[in-house]
Amino acid sequence: MITRQFGSEVRWMLRRPRTIIGLFGLVLVPIIISFGIWTAGDGGGGPGLAAILQGNGMVVPIFTLFLSLNLLLPLVASIWAADGLAGEAQHGTLRGLLVAPVSRVRLLFVKLFGLTAMSLFAVTLMAVVGIIAGTAFLGTNGMMTLSGTTLSTGQGLLRIALFVVLVTFQMVSIGAVALAVSSTTEHPLVVQAATMTTIIVFQVLGQFQSLDWLHPFLITTGFPGLIDVMRDPIPLGQIWDSTLLAGCYLLIGTGLAAMRLITKDS
Amino acid sequence: MNKRKVTLAVATAGVLTGAAGLSLLAMPAGAGQPPSLPDVSAESLVEQVMTAKPGAFGGTVEVDNKLGLPSIAEIPQLADGKHSARIWTDGNGKLRLALPNGQSEQTIVDDGKTTWSWNSQDNEVTKSEHKDSPKESNGEKAIDPATAAKEIVTKTKEFSDITVDGTARVANRAAYELVLSPKPTEKTLIREVRIAVDAELKMPLRVAVLTNGAAEPAGTVGFTQINVGPQDAKLFEFTPPANAKVTTPEAKEAQAREKLPEAGLEAALQGEDPQIFGTGWDSVIGARIPADAMTQVPAEAQGLVDRFTKKVSGSWGSGKLFTTKVATILIADDGRVVAGAVPEQVLFDTIGQVK
Amino acid sequence: MTTSTSAPVTAPAKQAVAARTRGLRKEYGSTVAVDRVDLELPEGAVLGMLGPNGSGKTTTIRMLLGLVRPTQGEIELLGRPLPDGAEQALPHVGALVEGPGFHPFLSGRENLIRCAAFEPLLEKRKIKQAVEDALERVGLAQAAHRRYRGYSLGMKQRLGLAAALLVPRKLVVLDEPTNGLDPAGTREIRRIIADLHDRGTTVLVSSHLLSEVEATCTHVAVLHRGTVVAQGELTELLQAGGSALQVVTPDVETALGALRQAKISARPLGEGLRVELAGTSAPQVIETLVKAGVGVHEATRWKTGLEELFARLTEAEEAERGMSAVDTLDGGPR
C-alpha cells in the first residue's frame, strides 16, 4: 500500500508542469557553467573550486551542485514542500487524501518520500548532465582534486556520488523544515517565501563575525564544508558536522510538521 | 494512552532531539575529564620531549589565533580565528601538509628528495629539489605543534620556571600539561606557555601561549585529531596534475617579491643579518631595512602599515609601533626594525643598538 | 413537531445506526461553530441535513469524517469511535466535502487515479476499472482525458462525486452536491442518490436547498445556528409538524362554534376555515361539522411543506434577517 502511495506521489510531482520547468532549469546550470569556463579559456577559472575546472570536466558536477546548494536547490526543495501540503490544502485535495483515509503521519511520510526521491532525482540529473557537459566542453583526465592529486575516473564518479548524496540530504532537510511551514498554511507562496527568506537571512548572518556564536545553528554554515569532498584524502570532520547539522534540521522539521498535522483541523 | 498521543509525543521528542543536537553541535568540543596519569617531574618530561624520536603520524592541526592582529582584507590568514591544516609525516622527513583556505587548498609534499608545493588557486606546482643540506622551511614546519613546542622549549628552557600542571586530553589522547613560565626577571608580554605532552609518545600535542592579563590563550596550536602509526606511503608522493604549471622556488620568489607588500619587511626580518639582542623571553630581534627598500614600499603597503601602527618617538628617533598581544614591532623611520615578545619600552631601549 | 431539546424523534432503537454523534461541540477560538449536536444516521437512510449557510452543516460533516476534532462530544462512524477509529471506518465512507478538490493540471482520469491510489479497499490491479466505472457512472467518460482546469462547475462536481464512488461504500457523505449544477445535473445527482439508496447505501446529503432534500431524503435533520433543531423521518416530521384541513363552507360561524365545542382549533380563512389536525383527524372534523349541520363543500388536507416546517423552526431568529439564506423553490400547499 505504502509503495503504491509513494509511487503515486512521485508520479504526481513529475506530472506537474512546474516540476518539469524546474528540472529543465537545473539542468541548464552545469551546461552554462561548462560553456562559460570553456569560453573563458585558460585565463578563466576563478576563486576556489572554479580555479581547477579547466581541463577537469569531472569537477563540473560538484562545482555546479556546490553553487546551486546556496539558492537554487533550496528553492526547488521549498517549491516541492510548498506544493506537498499547502498546495494540496489550497486545491482541496488534502481533504480527499485524509478521508481516503491516509493517516496524517503516513501522509507526512509520503510527502517526505516524494521530496527525497525528487531531490535525489534532481541532484543526480544535474550531476549526470554536469559530467557530460563538463567532459564535452572542458575535457577530462580522471579527476583532479583540490589537493592536486588526480583520481581515476571510477574514484571520481564515487566522489560525485558521495557529493550527490550529501547535497540531497541538505536539500531534504531544508525541505523538511519547509514542510513544517507548509503544514500551517494554504498558500504555497508563503512557504516558498518563508523558506527562501530564511536561507538568505542565514547566509547574511553567516557573514557577520560578531554573530559567530549563532553560526553553528545555521544550516547554511554547513554548506561550504561539503567542498571537502574535493580534497584528497577526504577530511570527514566538516562533512560530518554539516550532515549532522542538516540531520537536526530534518528532525526538527519533520517533528514540527507531524505535530502540526496531527492536531490540524482540515 | 491512545495512538494520537503517542505519535504526538514521538514528534515532540523528535523536535527536542533535533534542538538538543543543534546545541550540542554548537558547543565547543568539551575537554572532558582530565585523565589520571602517573606523576612525572618537569625535568624528566622536558628531557623526554627533547629526546623523543618523532614517529609517523597523521592528523589535523587547528590554529586558534587570538593574537589581536588587525583583520587585513589582503591577508585573511592572519586575522583572528581558527584555521586548520592537515599533516602527515612518516617520521623520517617525509611530509604532507594540506592547508585549506576557503574553497581552495595549498598542498605541500616532501617526498624526501623534493618538496612539492601545490596551490589549487593558481593551478601551479612549485618544485624544489633538496640541496645537500636539507634546510627545512620555517613556515611549513612551524604549524606542527610538536616542532613548534620543541623550538620554544629549546630556546627558553633556561629562562623559565618549568612545571607539570596536571593533565589534559588532546585529540582524544592523554597528555601532561607542561608549563613554561618566564622567570620574574624576564621582561616579556608572555605569562606562560602551556605544552600538552602526549603521555605515551612524549610528543607535544598542543601549545598554548598565554599573555599577561588575559585568561584565554592568545594563540593555540594543537591537534584536534591524530592517528599515530605508519601512514599511507602514497601520501608522500606527488605527481603534478597534467595541466598544472610547474615552477621553481627561485622563480616563484622573484614573483612574490614584486607582488606582496609585506614581502619587503618579511625579507628584512628574516634576511641575512638579523641581530639578536638579549636572551631568553625578552630577546629582541633587530634589523635594518635598506634605505632603498624603505622608499620602494608600494603606496598600498605604506597605507597598510599606517592603518595599523601608531606613531611614536623618543630619544632614539621616531617611528611606528605595531602592537599585538604577544609581540611588539617598532619600525623607525630610518629603517631600523626591532621586534620581540616584549613591552614597547624594551624596544625603545634596544633600538639604539641596531646597527 | 419535536426539537432536539425536548423529545427528539429518533429511529426505533433496534435499527442499526451508520453514524451517531453525542453532544458534539466545536469551537474555533471564541466562536462556537457547532454545539450540542446529537445526530443519528440510521443505516440505509438518506438523511438530508438542512440549514442555512453557516448553520454548522459542514463543520458537523467534517467532524463526522475525522477531518476536524470536536472540542467536546463523541462520534461513532460505522461502529467505530472517531477520530481514533477513522482508519477502520473511513475506507467504507465516500465523501464530497466543501466542493470538489482536484489538481488543475491533471486530467479528470488522472485525478481519479491519484485518489484511487490512496483508497485502502481498492486493489492495485482494479484501480483502472474502478476509475472507468466511476467516470461512467457520473457521466464524465467522454471528458475524462481533459484537464480538470477546463472543467465546468458541473463537471467538477461530478468528478468529486466520482471520487466518492470509487469503491462500493457503506456510507456516502455529500456536502452540497448540487452546487453549481444545472437542473439536468441536479436530476442526475438525485438519480445517483436514489440509486445508492436502492443498493442499501446510507447517504448523508447536506443542503440549503429544501426542494433537494424533500425530493431525495428519507430522513431530515434541521440545523440552525450550530445545533440540531429537529430530526427524524421526513414523513413523520412533516405530519408531526401539524397538518391542517382546509374546509370550504358558507357557514363559517356555525362551523367555528361546533369545532370550538369539540375542542378542535380552527380559524377562518378565505371562503371557509382552516382546521388544525393536532389531536384529531380529518374524518373526525368532518363528522363534527356534518353533525352540526354545517354544509361542507370541500375539504382539502393541507400538508405542511418542508419550507413551512423549516420556517417555523428558525422563525424567531430569521425574522429580522429574512429568509435570504434559504432558497425557496417550492413547498406550500400540496
Could you write out the DSSP letters of every residue in A165-215?
A: HHHHHHHHHHHHHHHHHHTT-S-HHHHHHHHHHHHHHHHHHTT-GGGTTTG
Q: State the residue range of the domain holding B342.
A: 261-353
Q: Which of B130-134, B330-334, C37-41 has the highest mean pLDDT?
A: C37-41
Instruction: Let me know whether B186 and B124 are in one domain.
Output: yes
What's the rounded Cα separation, in Å, for the pair A61 and A56?
11
How high is the pLDDT of residue B301? 66
Interface of B with A in 280-339 (CB under 8 A): none
* Residue contact B118–A144, C-beta within 8 A: no
* ipTM of the complex model: 0.87
The residue of chain B nearest to residue A108, with distances taken between CA atoms, is B11
User: In the predicted model, is pLDDT for residue A173 greater than 50?
Assistant: yes
DSSP state of B79: S
How high is the pLDDT of residue B281? 83
Size of interface B-C (CB pairs under 8 A): 4
Instruction: Let me know whether B76 and B211 are in one domain.
Output: yes
How high is the pLDDT of residue A247? 96
Higher confidence at residue B99 or residue A74?
Answer: A74
How high is the pLDDT of residue A46? 67
How high is the pLDDT of residue C110? 94
* Residue contact B7–A144, C-beta within 8 A: no
Q: Are the CB atoms for C167 and C149 separated by under 8 Å?
A: no
* DSSP element (H, E) containing C234: helix C234-240
pLDDT in tens, A80-95: 999 999 999 999 999 9
pLDDT in tens, B72-107: 555 555 566 778 889 898 888 888 988 887 788 888
Give the three-state DSSP class for A95. Answer: helix
> Which of A37-46, A126-135, A188-197, A225-234 is predicted least confidently?
A37-46
Q: What is the mean pLDDT of chain B?
A: 79
The residue of chain C nearest to residue B4, with distances taken between CA atoms, is C84
pLDDT in tens, B36-59: 888 888 888 888 888 887 788 898
Instruction: Let me know whether B225 and B276 are in one domain.
Output: no
What's the rounded Cα separation, in Å, for the pair A182 and C300?
63
**Chain C hits for A263, Cβ within 8 Å:** 69
What are the boundaries of each domain within chain C? 17-239, 244-302
Higher confidence at residue C75 or residue B140?
Answer: C75
Options 3.30.70, 3.30.499, 2.60.40, 3.40.1710; CATH for C244-302 is: 3.30.70
**Chain C hits for A92, Cβ within 8 Å:** 98-102
**Chain C hits for B2, Cβ within 8 Å:** 84
The residues of chain C scoring below 70 in pLDDT are: 1-15, 240-243, 302-304, 315-334
High-pLDDT (> 70) share of chain B, %: 80
High-pLDDT (> 90) share of chain A, %: 74
Q: What does each C-alpha distance from A1 to A96, A106, A254, C113, C162 come to in angstroms? A: 17, 11, 22, 14, 22
Interface of A with B (CB under 8 A): 45, 47-49, 51-52, 54-56, 105, 141, 144, 146-150, 213, 216-217, 224, 227-228, 231, 233, 235, 237, 241, 244-245, 247-256, 258-259, 262-263
Q: For an interface test with C, give the residue of A10, A14, A15, A99 to mutate (most C CBs within 10 A).
A: A99
Chains that touch B (3 or more CB pairs under 8 A): A, C
Measured between CB atoms, which of A144, A241, A252 is closest to B19? A252
What are B210's strand-pairing partners?
Answer: B192
CATH 3.40.50.300 for the C17-239 domain, yes or no: yes
Residue owning grid cell 442518490: C193
How high is the pLDDT of residue B70? 62
Q: Are the CB atoms for C1 and C240 separated by under 8 Å?
A: yes
Kindly give the residue spans of alpha helices, DSSP state H, lying in chain B: 3-26, 42-51, 138-141, 145-156, 249-259, 263-270, 291-296, 299-308, 344-350
B2 touches chain C (CB under 8 A): yes
C111: nearest Cα among C156, C172, C177, C142 = C156
Interface of A with C (CB under 8 A): 1, 4-5, 7-8, 11-12, 15-17, 91-103, 263, 265-266
What is the Cβ-side half-sphere exposure of residue C148, based on CA atoms within 13 angstroms? Answer: 20
Backbone angles phi, psi at B45, to 5 degrees: -65, -45
- Minimal Cα–Cα distance from B91 to chain A, Å? 19
List all residues 6 or more positions away from A103 whose beta carbon is below 8 Å from its beta carbon.
C86, C87
Cell of C175: 456536502
Measured between CB atoms, which of C65, C95, C105 is closest to A16? C105
* Residue contact A245–B4, C-beta within 8 A: no
Q: What does each C-alpha distance from C135 to A48, C142, C156 come to in angstroms? A: 59, 9, 12
Binned at pLDDT 50, 70 and 90, residue A48 comes out as confident
Mean pLDDT of A242-261: 95
How high is the pLDDT of residue A264? 85
Instruction: Let me know whether B293 and B170 are in one domain.
Output: no
What is the Cβ-side half-sphere exposure of residue A261, based on CA atoms within 13 angstroms? Answer: 30
- Looking at the domain assignment, is residue B298 inside a domain? yes
**Chain B hits for C83, Cβ within 8 Å:** 4
Q: Are the CB atoms for B204 and B146 separated by under 8 Å?
A: yes
Backbone angles phi, psi at B276, to 5 degrees: -110, 130
What are A44's strand-pairing partners?
Answer: none
- Looking at the domain assignment, is residue B3 inside a domain? no
User: In the predicted model, is pLDDT for residue A261 greater than 60?
Assistant: yes
Quote the number of domains for chain B.
2
**Chain B hits for A55, Cβ within 8 Å:** 242-243
Instruction: Let me know whether B232 and B269 are in one domain.
Output: no
* Residue contact A237–B60, C-beta within 8 A: yes
Q: Which of A187-191, B243-247, C16-20, C65-69 has the highest mean pLDDT?
A: A187-191
* Residue contact B2–C83, C-beta within 8 A: no
Interface of C with B in 61-90 (CB under 8 A): 83-84
Higher confidence at residue C211 or residue B261?
Answer: C211
Q: What is the mean pLDDT of chain A?
A: 92
Give the three-state DSSP class for C233. Answer: strand
Mean pLDDT of B140-152: 68
How high is the pLDDT of residue B134? 43
How high is the pLDDT of residue B141? 47
Mean pLDDT of B179-189: 85
- Looking at the domain assignment, is residue B246 inside a domain? no
Residue owning grid cell 443519528: C40
> Which of A36-40, A219-223, C14-18, C323-327 is predicted least confidently?
C323-327
Q: What does each C-alpha distance from B309 to B89, B96, B284, B315, B330 come to in angstroms? A: 39, 37, 19, 19, 9
B122 touches chain A (CB under 8 A): yes
Higher confidence at residue C223 or residue B248?
Answer: C223
* Residue contact A144–B241, C-beta within 8 A: yes
What are B286's strand-pairing partners?
Answer: B275, B338
Give the three-state DSSP class for B10. Answer: helix
A156: nearest Cα among A130, A195, A121, A122 = A130
User: In the predicted model, is pLDDT for residue A77 greater than 70?
Assistant: yes
pLDDT in tens, B276-330: 888 888 888 888 776 666 666 666 667 766 777 888 888 888 888 888 888 888 8
Q: For an interface test with A, give the residue of C60, C93, C114 to mutate (most A CBs within 10 A).
A: C114
Q: Could you tell me the CATH number of the domain that includes residue B224?
A: 2.50.20.10
How high is the pLDDT of residue A245? 95
Binned at pLDDT 50, 70 and 90, residue A13 comes out as very high
> Which of A57-66, A128-137, A221-230, B232-241 is predicted least confidently?
B232-241
How high is the pLDDT of residue C84? 81
The residue of chain B nearest to residue A47, with distances taken between CA atoms, is B121
What is the residue-wise DSSP string for B227-288? EES---GGGG-----TT-EEE-HHHHHHHHHHH-TTHHHHHHHHSS--EEES-GGG-EEEEE
- Looking at the domain assignment, is residue B154 inside a domain? yes
Length of chain C in terms of residues written: 334
Backbone angles phi, psi at C58, to 5 degrees: -65, -40
Q: What does each C-alpha distance from C42 to A257, B96, C11, C219 come to in angstroms? A: 38, 83, 7, 9
